[in-house]
Amino acid sequence: MTPSSMWSTSSHGEAADATLAELSALGEHLALCNGDGARRVAMHCGVRQLQGLVLGRLVSASSVAATVISITWLVL
């Protein structure tokens, strides 16, 4: 194995434990993500579910309308 293909970490052979500064930064990031970001994700999921419901009904309603129009056109 060549030295350039070996796995390299920033722990330099020591235990790769998180520092207090890293844990603090992670805590701040998670607090930010759980704040406004969580509401945005929930709203996005709700919109996607509503779109799925509307599109499912739209296709059904369009097929029924096309069938009724076709039958009416053939009868007349």
* Tens-place pLDDT, residues 2-46: 554 455 556 666 777 777 888 888 888 777 777 667 778 788 888
| pTM beyond 0.75 | no
What's the pLDDT tens digit per position in 45-75?
A: 888 888 888 888 888 889 989 999 999 999 9
Q: Is the pLDDT of residue 1 over 50?
A: no
Residue 27: domain span: 21-75
Q: Check: CB of residue 65 under 8 Å from CB of residue 73.
A: no
Provide the token pair at 71. Answer: 């039958």
Structural Rg of the chain based on CA atoms: 28
> Do residues 9 and 16 touch, judged by C-beta distance below 8 A?
yes
| 1 within some domain | no
Domain count of the fold of the chain: 1
